[in-house]
Amino acid sequence: MTDTTTAPPVATGPTVPPPQRPKRRLGDVIFSRLSSGSGFLILIILAAVAAFLLVQAFPALVSSPEVLKTKGYGEFWSWVLPFAFGTVWSSLWALILAVPVSIGIALFITHYAPRRLARTLGYIIDLLAAVPSVVFGLWGTMTLAPATQPVYQWLNTYLGFIPLFGGEASGTGRTLLTAAIVLAVMILPIITSLCREVFLQTPRLHEEAALALGATRWETIKLAVLPYGRAGTVAAVMLGLGRALGETMAVAMVLSGNQVINFRLLTSDNPNTVAAMIAQNFPEASGIRINELIAAGLVLFVITLIINSIARLIISRYSEFSGAN
Amino acid sequence: MSKRIEVKDLNVYYGKFKAVEDATMVIEPRAVTAFIGPSGCGKSTFLRTLNRMHEVIPGAYVEGKVLLDGADLYGADVDPVLVRRQVGMVFQRPNPFPTMSIGDNVIAGMRLNNKRLGKAEADAIIESSLRGANLWEEVKNRLDKPGSSLSGGQQQRLCIARAIAMQPDVLLMDEPCSALDPISTLAIEDLIQQLKESYTIVIVTHNMQQAARVSDTTAFFNIAGTGSPGRLIEVGPTEKIFSTPDDQATEDYITGRFG
């Protein structure tokens, strides 16, 4: 190759040497194909689900309210709205209950607990994630609801002037708040263990910087741990929210939901969630009713998508200050 | 502002392991004291006992006394949090808070002390501290940018600004230039010369030229072997340590005949 630079190029031959292709090794090829294949697979699955929802929901979305009415369900959007509300409302309360506790447990495990206790606690939290949702549903209806009913009664009697606690308290305890508590317990493990991982990632250097400035342990957490883990914490909360939005069995068992929009937490007149409603109605559905239920599923899909996009937006707004740069 | 440190018969332990044995020395105010010695000889550990930062490691404790103008840092009723507000520290690698702006980084410590820091007051502290750290001219137009947007040397000066914003009595520096290029190192060394007008400065360094350049007093630490505690071999004026040390080990280390 070296003498091509000194000798004049041969007129007939190519003047530019062909670009050297890096040698492709078999292992590299297989691995890169496998990993990019997995990447595409998830896109294909998502597209297939979205396509299924769109195609199957289409008839219900375009059919006139009259057609739906003849089946006795009324116009689609006004029909689905209460369920969408119920989904968001119950998940919101689940988050309000679960997030502070999860972050608290994660901080306790990472920064306060003695090592052995922290490890045990970590196992227990992960175990909680392995309990099937039908068990949580049973626990919610049979134990939690009766146990919390007196508390609801008390809240209703003494704090009933707050609209949230107003109305007539449920006699069974199977209220939206009970459903939210069950959901909170279900999403607690995932939020906790992700937050724990995130908080453990805080560079020791940042924590020492805070300590050296005379920060107490709590101030160190405020200065170094929480800001550093902000994006990860938001992601953990969003995963928990995703689970709460889609949770079917536990809600269906705890809540005797109706097609209402009711902000009150303690009454027996509760909005059902989209997922629970679909599960309860699907077995007897036929014809356009099936399309209608799938359209409700599409609404749930869109709600989840919107909430996730908002979370992404929140994370990217702080990316310059994220500590990743 | 600047206070004298007296260390008396100090032993430092990590659990059962004795990391530093029987160290006694005086660190003068308004001067730079350098700690030199081979890796693992306990000089960083010893430095950390001067603001109780070693206590961050579980199982670490000391025996003996560290007096700051006569007040024992390890007295029964002394809060380590308050000790660290008096004795500032700069670390091996620059560690500005990545989620805070340059300005907020400077007053991060002040905000802990004084929650009701007015805007004007905060701005004044930010400017004076950054000027004190020779960084003001470089960052005055971008105080709201993240601290991590600065170069390594600038970040380290930001950390120094953050430490001196607290108006500490003592400033500890744990190999502050080991992650920096020579020009940034020079900037920090110049800064150390200015800072010693107002602070007691203790610096750990692996760079003997640096110790010779910046310090007034040098302390040499050594270790007999793995598993044995580090010892303070010799303390003295830097000129003497680097020309006619009393101890053979010191001379061997300084002339490069060791390790």
Model confidence pLDDT, tens digit, residues B91-107 = 999 999 988 999 999 99
Give the N- to C-terminal CA distance of chain A in Å, as an integer.
43
Q: According to the model, what pLDDT value does residue A4 have?
A: 44
Mean pLDDT of chain A: 86
A230: nearest CA in chain B? B99
Query: What does the buried/exposed string (b/e) look like for B178-207 if buried means 16 or more CB atoms within 10 Å of the residue's CB?
Result: ebbeeebbebbbebbeebbeebbbbbbbeb
- Most confident residue range from A16-25, A74-83, B229-238: B229-238
Is the separation of the CB atoms in A177 and A216 below 8 Å? no
Q: Give me the number of domains chain B comprises.
A: 1
The model's confidence at residue A325, banded by pLDDT at 50, 70 and 90, is very low
Spell out the CATH class of A86-321: mainly alpha
Q: Quick one: tokens of B198?
A: 């107002």
pLDDT attached to residue A63: 77
A-to-B residue pairs, Cβ atoms closer than 8 angstroms:
81
CATH of residue B65's domain is 3.40.50.300
pLDDT at A30: 93
Highest mean pLDDT among A17-21, A252-256, B34-38: B34-38
Q: Which residues of B touch A322 (CB under 8 A)?
A: 98-99
Neighbour-count burial of A26, counting CB atoms closer than 10 A to its CB (0-12 exposed, 13-18 middle, 19+ buried): exposed
Tell me which residues of chain B have a pLDDT lower than 50: 259
Question: Is the CB of residue A208 less than 8 Å away from at least one CB of chain B?
Answer: yes
Question: What pLDDT does A12 receive?
Answer: 55
Q: Is the ipTM of this complex over 0.90?
A: no
Residue A75 sits at the chain B interface (C-beta within 8 Å): no
Q: Is residue B224 part of a domain?
A: yes
Is residue B114 in some structural domain? Answer: no
For residue B143, which amino acid is it?
A: L
Over residues A85-89, the mean pLDDT reads 93
- Model pLDDT, residue A189: 93
B26 in a structural domain: yes
Q: Does position A8 have pLDDT exceeding 60, yes or no?
A: no
**Percentage of residues in chain A having pLDDT higher than 70:** 89
Q: Are B41 and B222 in contact (CB under 8 A)?
A: yes
- A122-166: per-residue pLDDT in tens? 899 989 888 998 999 999 999 999 999 999 999 988 988 888 888
In a domain, B238, yes or no: yes
Q: Where are the domains of chain A?
A: 86-321
**What's the pLDDT at B258?**
62
**Domain assignment of residue B235, given as a range:** 5-93+170-255
Residue B150 lies in a domain: no
Which residue of B51, B92, B93, B97 to mutate against A (max A Cβ within 10 Å)?
B97
Give burial (CB, 10 Å; 0-12/13-18/19+) of A6: exposed
Does a structural domain hold residue B55? yes
Q: Are strands B32-36 and B217-223 parallel, antiparallel or unpaired?
A: parallel
Residue A2 has pLDDT above 50, yes or no: no
CB A265 within 8 A of CB A165: yes
Q: Which residues have a Cβ under 8 Å from the Cβ of A200 and sit 6 or more positions away? A: A110
Which residues on neighbouring strands pair with residue A299, listed in sequence order? none
CB of B84 within 8 Å of a chain A CB? The answer is yes
Whether the predicted pLDDT of A15 surpasses 60:
yes
pLDDT category, A75, cuts 50, 70, 90?
confident
> Can you give the pLDDT at residue A170?
83
pLDDT-derived band at A3, boundaries 50, 70, 90: very low
pLDDT at A21 over 90: no
Distance from CA of A201 to the nearest CA of B (A): 14
Per-residue confidence (pLDDT) for residue B1, from 0 to 100: 65
Share of chain A above pLDDT 90, in %: 46
Report if residue B43 sits inside a domain: yes
Distance CA B39, CA B219 (A): 14
pLDDT at A257: 80
Kindly report which listed range (A21-30, A99-108, A178-187) carries the lowest average pLDDT score: A21-30
If residue B131 lies in a helix (H) or strand (E), which one and from where to where?
A: helix B119-132
- A51: enclosing H helix or E strand: helix A26-62
Check B89 against A212: CB less than 8 A apart: yes
- Cβ atoms of A168 and A206 within 8 Å: the answer is no
Instruction: Name residue A111's beta-bridge partners.
Output: none
The DSSP line for A90-142 is HHHHHHHHHHHHHHHHHHIIIIIS-HHHHHHHHHHHHHHHTS-HHHHHHHIII
- Asked if A203 reaches chain B (Cβ–Cβ under 8 Å), the answer is yes
* Over residues A93-120, mean pLDDT: 94
